[in-house]
Amino acid sequence: MANNMIKDEVNVSKLYGLEATLPKEEFLQKYHIKENGLSSGEADEKIRNLGFNEIKQSKPKKWYNYFLESLFTPFNCILLGIVAILIYTDIYLPPTPSYANIIVIAILVTASTLLDFFEEYRSNKAAEELKQMVATTTVVIRDGKEIQIPIREVTLGDTVLLSAGSLIPADLRIIEAKDLYVGQSSLTGESDSVKKQVESEIKLEELEAISDLDTICFMGTNVISGSAKGIVIKTADSTYFGKVAHTLTAGKPKTAFQKGIESISKLLIRFMLIMIPLVFLLNAWKHDIITAFTFAVAIAIGITPLLLPVILSSSLSKGAIRMSKKKTIVKKLDSIQNFGAMNILCTDKTGTLTEDKIVLEKYLDINGEEDIRVLKHAFLNSYFQTGLKGNIDEAVIKRGLENDLGNLSNVYKKIDEIPFDFSRRRLSVIVSDGTKKQLITKGAVEEILNICTMVDYKGEVSPITKEIKENIRKISKNLNKDGLRVVAVCQKNDISKIEQFSVSDEKNMVLLGFIGFLDPPKESAKESIEKLNRAGIRVVVLTGDNAEVTRCICNKVGINSKNIVLGNKLDKLTDIAVLRLLRKTNIFAKLSPIQKARIVRLLREARKCCWIYG
């Protein structure tokens, strides 16, 4: 774990103890935190003095870094070594210097280096420009207003607003929180989310590891659920993430292509180390030493494939140029060989096989009949929730506005919210129209059924029965078979006496119905799958979506959906058992990111070439 690797270098108590254990009011006073956040002038001045919020190792390379990497490849190093010997044998020793061999090798090295350098530098430059266009942003309070800024512009003292899905932009001290859970696996290696709060339950002298810091959120981690407000206490290299980045020196694993080149280079060097002395000794007894040595060097040059670096660089460059015409950036030329050697393609579904442009197609009551009341409640939930507004919320709001429900935002007022999290898989808002309060919840069908004891059909409320539940599941499954993603909607009216709302209030609710979303497959997906199959490349779908929706989409794009394995089954199987499943299964549904990574790891360990896409 990263945490263990830097334990000796980072004194958690010294770095974070004071900020973590100070009571909120004392922290705000000590660090002169303003309710309206920093002013634009203060933020600009701090950025000028402290620099941007960037880890040094993640900054773009200079042009000469790419040039040196291209120059000192294994083959080029062999050729440069031969040049060094030739300078002695062809220039220094003979009475009449000969430059021919040196010039030929120098031209070959230069051609190989420049081909590699220009292609990689151009591609990486384009990738950096693309990264700037899609730079991650965060919400901060500046001049009393909530604004969205690039993470690199976050500075000390900034007030950052967090919600489900947010990436923590710097090390923060939490000053407001509601059901805040953060994933710290990128730092600690532990997959379980950690609760963060306003007041620490740990004393200063008890702090030993970052897992003890319950009031601090760390750069590079992410919000699993809840919402919060935090003050930036450390940025860039001074953050814990920055210290991890500088401590971990291990680079990316070498590709099969790089290992092959290194293997051939080492073999050539061994031959030279054996052949040069051997040839020299065999000739030295009947020729003079200079002639024998020159002949031995000629043998070394003869067994070295001088044109190989140029051939490799030109071939890979040609591949990169062809890829660029397909609007694909190749940052490392070596990856072209990996791409060509691919025999298994692991792909996501949403946004890869599908358009990722979700449209709300249906709003149905518990009997599968269209009901505008279901859309109305879903609209209120999506409109007033302040967490991460995903495609589903945007689709609900768009459809609500098309059905003239926009005026509801003026009629109703938000009272509170119970944020979405990935364990409950639902989200609730509490709204009031001035006469009564309502708790409105939407989420996954099974999770909503678990908290409902009543159903509402055309305004009549009745107890939910086993038969009703089975009918609801049947309707939901039929919608899934049609390729629709289904979300259930429920409400609760008798909440006037509740002042502070929490997850425990999501019970004894009334089920209203469903909303169904369609994410159609891409027009190019089926043709692409067919081309891959003709090329002998097997496509494996790894998705977090449910089995029926996945089956429908896969059938439409031509992927065999006979066998579908769910994520909960994988957790019960050993690695060997999962590998057996991989031989006959092309679709894995309801997977977590960790389960996806496990499948890819197993494919790689089984020495199969696997390319992750999407």
> d(Cα 477, Cα 500) in Å, to the nearest integer?
36
DSSP secondary structure string for all residues of 53-103: S--GGGSPPPHHHHHHHHHT-HHHHHHHHHHHHHIIIIIISSSS---HHHH
Query: Quick one: which of 593, 607, 573 has its CA closest to 585?
Result: 573
Task: Report the Cα 271 to chain-centroid distance in Å.
Answer: 45
Q: DSSP H helical segments within 440-566, as ranges?
A: 445-451, 466-481, 525-534, 547-557
> d(Cα 10, Cα 212) in Å, to the nearest integer?
14
Region for residue 217 given its phi and psi (left: phi exceeds 0; alpha: psi -120 to 50; beta: otherwise): beta
Region for residue 273 given its phi and psi (left: phi exceeds 0; alpha: psi -120 to 50; beta: otherwise): alpha
> d(Cα 200, Cα 204) in Å, to the nearest integer?
10
* Residue showing tokens 């509601």: 178
Estimate the share of the chain in helix, then strand, then coil, as percent rounded to the nearest 5: 50, 20, 30
> d(Cα 499, Cα 227) in Å, to the nearest integer?
19
Region for residue 150 given its phi and psi (left: phi exceeds 0; alpha: psi -120 to 50; beta: otherwise): beta
- For helices 575-584 and 593-605, give the axis angle rounded to 10 degrees: 80
* Residue showing tokens 């420009």: 129
Which listed residue (158, 334, 348, 456) is catalytic? Answer: 348
| Structure token digits, residue 255 | 């590709």
> d(Cα 260, Cα 437) in Å, to the nearest integer?
68
* Residue showing tokens 């390319």: 611
Residue 575 designated active-site:
no
Continuous segment of H or E residues that includes residue 603: helix 593-605
Continuous segment of H or E residues that includes residue 117: helix 100-133
| Structure token digits, residue 304 | 């070295």
The amino acid occupying position 365 is D
| Structure token digits, residue 42 | 């203060």
Question: Within 13 Å of residue 130, how many CA atoms lie on the same side as its CB?
Answer: 11
> d(Cα 506, Cα 517) in Å, to the nearest integer?
24
* Residue 469: how many other CB atoms lie within 10 Å: 16
Q: Any idea how long the chain is?
A: 614
Which positions ≥6 away from 493 have C-beta within 8 Å?
A: 436, 437, 438, 510
Query: Quick one: which of 567, 564, 561 has its CA closest to 591?
Result: 567
Backbone angles phi, psi at 494, to 5 degrees: -80, 65
User: What single DSSP character describes residue 590?
Assistant: S
Task: Report the Cα 193 to chain-centroid distance in Å.
Answer: 17
* Residue showing tokens 């006037």: 496
DSSP secondary structure string for all residues of 281-336: HHHHTTS-HHHHHHHHHHHHHHHS-TTHHHHHHHHHHHHHHHHHHTT---S-THHH
* Residue showing tokens 């919840």: 441
Residues forming the active site: 348
